[in-house]
Structure 1
Amino acid sequence: MKTTQNPDLAMGIGSVVYALAKVDGRIQLAEMQTVKEIMANEPHGDLALHAFFLKENYDESPEEAYAFGLRRFKANRHSLDKATKQRYIALLQKVAEAHDDISRKEQELIQNFRRELRRL
């Protein structure tokens, strides 16, 4: 599996993961722990975590964070191979499953993200 080393994509996925964790109200402790564990194994995972926590510190809306993440992906679409896209979708799924059931808003965000990635 080819892993991308593009730091801009890490900023993007950190922002989208924040949007997912925040979309149903507030970020759950289980989600936070899952994000930390997952990002530890991602290329530039430290940057992704910084993006996540920066957005949390400023209490950015899920919509703003998601839009920021998508702009990072669009600007760096040349670095987004199929394996990376699949990994990012799986990553979102793991975060959504971190606590209780996946909410309808979380499902919608993941479906929208999958659709957006397909277009790139």
Structure 2
Amino acid sequence: MTDELEARLDAIRSRLDTQIEAARAARDAVAADAEELRSVESTSRSANGECEVTADADGVVLRVQLASRLSDIRALENLLVETIAKAQRSARDAASQKAARLLGDTSFPGAHLRAAHRTGA
């Protein structure tokens, strides 16, 4: 092999090494962003503070707290359903906003997440 060919191969190897390292760094950044999105939670309270619900971005209810002054079970059922829905929407919206910041407002994934959250999908 000539020295010139060897120099070209070394340059190609160097560029590949640089690209591999950049891809690894991008993968690690995406993993960190995904973990940040998974950690989004939102807490909502009923209008008069009778109950408080915390949900995550997937809509999973994490906590429900009830005020000790409650006495009407039927009213409590309605309050819980309304407050749970409010917490779920709030967590989805928070995750969507965070995704837009992490992925970029004009990126396809960011736009797709925002559209899905607007339609409730």
Under TM normalisation by the shorter chain, which class is it? 0.3 to 0.5
Give the alignment's TM-score, normalised by structure 2.
0.32
Give the alignment's TM-score, normalised by structure 1.
0.32
Using CA pairs under 8 Å that are at least 6 residues apart, name the structure with larger relative contact order, 1 or 2: 1
Name whichever structure is richer in helix by fraction.
1
Name whichever structure is richer in strand by fraction.
2
